[in-house]
Amino acid sequence: MSRSAIWHPFTQHAVAPLPVKIASAEGAYLTAENGRRIFDGISSWWVVTHGHRHPKIVAAIQEQAGTLDQVIFAGFTHEPAEQAADKLLRLVQRSFGNGDLAHVFFSDSGSTAVEVALKMALGYWRNTGEPRTRIIALEHAYHGDTIGTMSAGARGVFNAAYAPLLFDVARLPFPEAGREAATFAELERLLAEQPTAAVVVEPLILGAGGMLMYPPEVLRRLHDIAKAHGALFIADEVMTGFGRTGTAFACEQAGVTPDLMCLAKGLTGGVIPLAATLATRAIFEAHYATDRAKTFFHSSSYTANPIACAAAAANLDIWLNEPVLARVAALGTLQSARLAKLAGDARFTNVRKTGTIAAFELQARDAGYLAGIGPRLYDRFLNADVLLRPLGNTVYVMPPYCTTAADLDRVYDAILDAAGAVA
């Protein structure tokens, strides 16, 4: 493949190899233009859940494209959006055992889903006559690449160039095992110091921050402290939603229903972009008024695109009517069995798993996101026809739910081979 005019994301074109041109995909595999079959060990950046080109979702897209492709969503609605919202709330209510999350706002990406939640939180307090503005987030967090979500995320190489645009956010130390009390104490201090609009967290797993994991009881404590001080609780379930942590939504495991929940990636099974921010009745009603100045002012041209909504509705049918969680549990068991083989190997540290997501650090002289080991590992894995995208020396495996034991054996063989070659 020759150089093209395309500017690829998270890519330094001066040093990166030419991208592999993908011609097709099916199940857990990508097929390159030259016929190479590459196992998709990261679900194409964490989006593909059931597998590529799930026939029910593809059929829904094809059918919808033949009737209604796009319509403005301000002042209009359509059946795919109504169905997607209804089915999403049914799944959420089944998962949480309550109907507290009652309203669905559609957007286009995980970043915008979180941006919407932050704006809803600020709007809620302004419209109720108590203009709280402080946002609290965990250190190492990643919430997206819009201005609001970069502000809520950790400051570092991802956003250093854009620092003049970002607003201040209070930070909590990550609740490392044995140091959770320090996190709780800091949250109590910050909430007592100043009225807070919202606490935003990635529940159970911080993704781009290094696949850092913490248990459900910590999540519950963070939620309870926030609520005791009247702050809204925002759960960024963009990555963790739709089964990645072993349950439909990560917050379930803590018995927590957030005030705002952000979803994207797996909402359509990873087939087409769509996002949603779920809100409680109280947050919706704070924006419901004869005063038009209290309107929630957010949209995009493609809000609730009918084709994307049809895909989401089909995906939600799968979740509501098929034993998806049994498939999730089976994949988690397969991951555990292979991680056990790494646990006694000194080359691997902090071997960990939550649900279907496995992660560990590879012993290396250089570490961190920009360390040279990351690209070396990536190249090594790709040469073995396995797509893994390490975060520096942190390697994670997050495959689709259709992954077989043989598929995972292939992945972990590549990991073991790479460990000796690049450390």
Domain ranges, ordered by start, for the chain: 61-321, 324-422
d(C-alpha 118, C-alpha 112), whole Å? 10
**Dist CA 157 CA 83 (whole Å):** 41
Q: At 402, give phi and psi (nearest 5°).
A: -85, 0
**Whether the predicted pLDDT of 423 surpasses 70:** no
203: left (phi over 0), alpha (psi -120 to 50) or beta: beta
Predicted pLDDT at 216: 98
Is residue 2 very low, low, confident or very high in pLDDT (cuts 50, 70, 90)? low
CATH number given to 324-422: 3.90.1150.10
Give φ, ψ of 262 to 5 degrees: -105, 130
Q: What is the mean pLDDT of residues 148-161?
A: 93
* 237 vs 344: which has the higher pLDDT: 237
- Convert the pLDDT of each residue in 323-351 to its tens digit: 999 999 999 999 999 999 898 899 999 99
- Least confident span in 7-11, 136-140, 405-409: 7-11
pTM of the predicted model as reported, rounded to 2 decimal places: 0.96
At 1 the pLDDT is 45
Angle made by CA atoms 273, 201, 151, in degrees to the nearest 5: 75
In degrees, rounded to 5, the angle at the alpha carbon of residue 129 between the alpha carbons of residues 126 and 133 is 40
H helix intervals, 301-404: 306-321, 324-343, 373-383
Class of the domain covering 61-321 = alpha beta
pLDDT tops 60 at residue 113: yes
Could you tell me which of 215, 150, 220 has the C-alpha nearest to residue 178?
215
DSSP state, 162? G
pLDDT in tens, 251-262: 999 999 999 999
Q: What is the pLDDT of residue 369?
A: 73
- Residue bearing tokens 């159970």: 204
Query: Alpha-carbon distance 43 to 207, whole Å?
Result: 14
d(CA 261, CA 251): 9
Q: Select from 351, 145, 359, 134 the least CA-distant residue to 238.
A: 145
